[in-house]
């Protein structure tokens, strides 16, 4: 039995957070099953807009707790952002009272149609769980969205209690402030529950690689600042080479050892658990039970893959060649996080610049680290990021200079109060995103997007703007407005690249994202399958066990999901400078 600190004296609330793709959901599920098997009543909740709890537990879930078959005492649910937003809109509209005219009611509903309303509504559901809306459970386990999105979610109680203090005038994209003040006590109680080490434990999940450790260290510091200091560290996917003569296995173990040896002091002081890399996919209850029950990562019934036909898929250089046939355009590199999309975005940008194009590489990821990947300079390549804090300051200054120009002191004070809303950040980031989309009319712009939950919120904001602009167009009006969503839907302007790993869950998540994009009228251009061991030549028994699974997932992508697919082999260390990125592309 593996030792796992979070199970020593489990608190009522347990949060699992970390960079996308590190195994948060697997570990949250395994913990929930273990507690239920001990006789506790457990509720497992996903706050991730791109949740895959259903697939992990092999049960269809909704926004109400559902019993998990073959795990007595375990219930699970997804917080449905759209259902939460509609419920929130209804509650705010009900608070307006009968004296409000239909026109005013319609205006408030329009204010409540944006992405930030969806976010605060989902957060309101989350606060309810902390506030006892689901009494009767011994433990509530939160499988959270990737860290950038989670930090924003967990900072909302503090942001909103400050915003609402002495402020019951005006309105924002969340509706009348007087209505929000009714929630203030719930927000305050949520903060108290999160900061109480007897009630809440935060499990920081990481892989033994430098970028994941760097992000989890940043997360740990920001959670400390929010008074969530009862933290433990779980290093998932720890690998030990069985044969010292296997170059690939030895390099993989050495890479992990070096990453852990350079871990910041803020993490080394935390209680730490190491969960081994398994030779099989952690999907379904039997596999999830084995995750914490056994230190043996091999499946005794599986002898591993024998020699098989090589897989012939083009590499990233071919993808860059295909993109470079145009003279400009937006390339959006997307997926859940933890699959290497930042490296892929950087390699595409460097490859295009190497072919003589002017390229702007940027990111919308709150946990941006493109500058860590593109270490160096090259002609024609510009690297920056859409920084939410900077964009918010710029947006507030612009609004004060325009809408606030002719206001008196009282009017300016009211405007500043409204702009103090946490939702202002979403609007500001959207404006910066729109500018980048437009820039691709005359150059190549490569956008390393946030993990999918946050990206979908941004695309929702784009869609809301699209609806607002097109509803104002008169049939006989002059000219034609081209909105950001129209540009994203235009395959001659935008190419969306989905990045995945050759594993069940990442492929399923990419497939779900593809469906979401198609519902928005956006058709992905290609899939990139990253970190494939299949051509590495390894004979390590554990790694060989993983090859059959890789082959199944690559076939799944090729045969029914991707119009174009490209493959990148496993590398002993991630490319971290321009020269290595050139070699990759």
Catalytic entry in 18, 20, 23, 337: 23
505: annotated active-site residue? yes
Q: Torsions phi, psi of 365, nearest 5?
A: -80, 125
Pair of tokens at residue 240:
């030990």
Catalytic entry in 18, 19, 20, 25: 25
Angle between helix axes 541-556 and 247-261 (nearest 10 degrees) is: 90
25: annotated active-site residue? yes
Helix (H, G, I), strand (E, B) or coil at 178: helix
CB 296 within 8 A of CB 288: no
Pair of tokens at residue 29:
């599920």
Catalytic entry in 144, 220, 505, 536: 505
**What gap in Å lies between CA 505 and CA 527, rounded to an integer?**
15
Catalytic entry in 17, 18, 20, 21: 21
Q: Measured at the alpha carbon of residue 299, what is the angle toward residues 295 and 302, in degrees to the nearest 5?
A: 160
**What gap in Å lies between CA 207 and CA 281, rounded to an integer?**
16
26: annotated active-site residue? yes
CA-based nearest residue to 487, from 325, 319, 320, 332: 332
From residue 254, alpha-carbon distances to 257, 259, 265, 501 in Å are: 5, 9, 20, 21
CA-based nearest residue to 79, from 116, 127, 37, 38: 127
CB 155 within 8 A of CB 223: no
CA-based nearest residue to 306, from 541, 36, 488, 502: 541
Q: Please give the distance of CA 573 from its chain centroid, rounded to a whole number.
A: 24
129 contacts: CB under 8 Å, gap ≥ 6: 43, 45, 140, 142
Catalytic entry in 26, 200, 494, 504: 26
Name the β-bridge partners of 200: 13
Q: How many CB atoms lie within 10 A of CB 469?
A: 15
48: annotated active-site residue? yes
Q: Please give the distance of CA 348 from its chain centroid, rounded to a whole number.
A: 21
523 contacts: CB under 8 Å, gap ≥ 6: 491, 496, 517
23: annotated active-site residue? yes
Catalytic entry in 19, 24, 341, 354: 24
From residue 59, alpha-carbon distances to 68, 77, 329, 363, 372 in Å are: 7, 10, 41, 35, 39
Pair of tokens at residue 572:
């002993």
Please give the positions annotated as active site: 21, 23-26, 48, 505
């Amino acid at each position: 039995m593996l030792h796992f600190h979070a199970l020593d004296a489990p608190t009522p609330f347990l949060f699992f957070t970390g960079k996308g793709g590190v195994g948060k959901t697997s570990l949250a599920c395994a913990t929930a099953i273990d507690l239920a098997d001990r006789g506790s009543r457990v509720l497992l909740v996903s706050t991730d807009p791109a949740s895959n709890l259903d697939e992990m537990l092999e049960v269809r879930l909704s926004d109400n707790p559902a019993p998990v078959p073959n795990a007595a005492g375990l219930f699970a649910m997804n917080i449905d952002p759209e259902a939460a937003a509609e419920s929130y809109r209804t509650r705010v509209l009900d608070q307006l009272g009968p004296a409000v005219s239909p026109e005013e009611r319609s205006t408030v509903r329009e204010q409540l149609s944006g992405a930030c309303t969806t976010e605060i509504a989902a957060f309101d559901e989350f606060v309810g769980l902390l506030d006892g809306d689901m009494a009767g459970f011994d433990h509530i386990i939160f499988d959270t969205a990737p860290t950038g999105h989670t930090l924003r979610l967990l900072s909302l109680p503090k942001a909103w209690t400050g915003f609402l203090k002495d402020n019951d005038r005006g309105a924002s994209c969340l509706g009348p402030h007087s209505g929000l003040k009714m929630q203030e006590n719930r927000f305050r109680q949520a903060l108290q529950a999160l900061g109480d080490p007897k009630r809440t434990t935060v499990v920081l999940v990481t892989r033994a690689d430098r970028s994941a450790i760097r992000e989890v260290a940043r997360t740990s510091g920001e959670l400390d600042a929010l008074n969530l200091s009862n933290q433990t560290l779980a290093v998932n996917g720890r690998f030990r080479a069985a044969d010292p003569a296997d170059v690939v296995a030895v390099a993989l173990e050495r890479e992990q050892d070096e990453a852990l040896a350079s871990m910041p002091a803020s993490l080394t002081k935390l209680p730490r658990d190491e969960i081994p890399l398994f030779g099989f996919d952690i999907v379904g209850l039997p596999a999830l039970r084995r995750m914490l029950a056994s230190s043996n990562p091999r499946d005794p019934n599986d002898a591993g893959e024998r020699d098989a036909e090589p897989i012939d898929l083009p590499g990233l250089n071919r993808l860059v060649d295909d993109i470079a046939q145009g003279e400009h355009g937006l390339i959006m590199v997307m997926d859940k996080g933890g699959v290497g999309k930042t490296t892929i975005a950087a390699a595409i940008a460097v490859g295009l610049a190497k072919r003589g194009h002017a390229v702007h590489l940027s990111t919308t990821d709150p946990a941006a680290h493109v500058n860590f990947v593109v270490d160096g300079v090259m002609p024609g390549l510009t690297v920056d990021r859409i920084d939410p804090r900077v964009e918010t300051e710029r947006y507030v200054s612009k609004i004060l200079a325009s809408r606030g120009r002719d206001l008196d002191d009282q009017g300016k004070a009211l405007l500043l109060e409204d702009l103090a809303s946490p939702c202002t950040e979403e609007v500001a980031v959207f404006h910066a995103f729109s500018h980048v989309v437009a820039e691709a009319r005359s150059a190549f712009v490569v956008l390393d997007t946030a993990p999918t939950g946050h990206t979908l919120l941004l695309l929702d904001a784009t869609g809301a703007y699209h609806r607002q602009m097109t509803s104002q167009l008169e049939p006989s009006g002059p000219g034609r407005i081209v909105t950001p969503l129209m540009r994203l839907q235009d395959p001659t302007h935008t190419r969306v690249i989905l990045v995945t790993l050759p594993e069940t869950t990442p492929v399923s998540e990419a497939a779900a994202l593809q469906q979401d994009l198609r519902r928005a009228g956006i058709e992905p251009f290609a899939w990139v399958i990253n970190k494939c061991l299949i051509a590495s030549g390894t004979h390590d028994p554990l790694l060989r066990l993983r090859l059959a699974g890789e082959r199944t997932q690559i076939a799944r992508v090729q045969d029914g999901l991707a119009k174009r697919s490209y493959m990148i082999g496993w590398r002993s260390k991630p490319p971290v400078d321009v020269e290595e990125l050139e070699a990759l592309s």
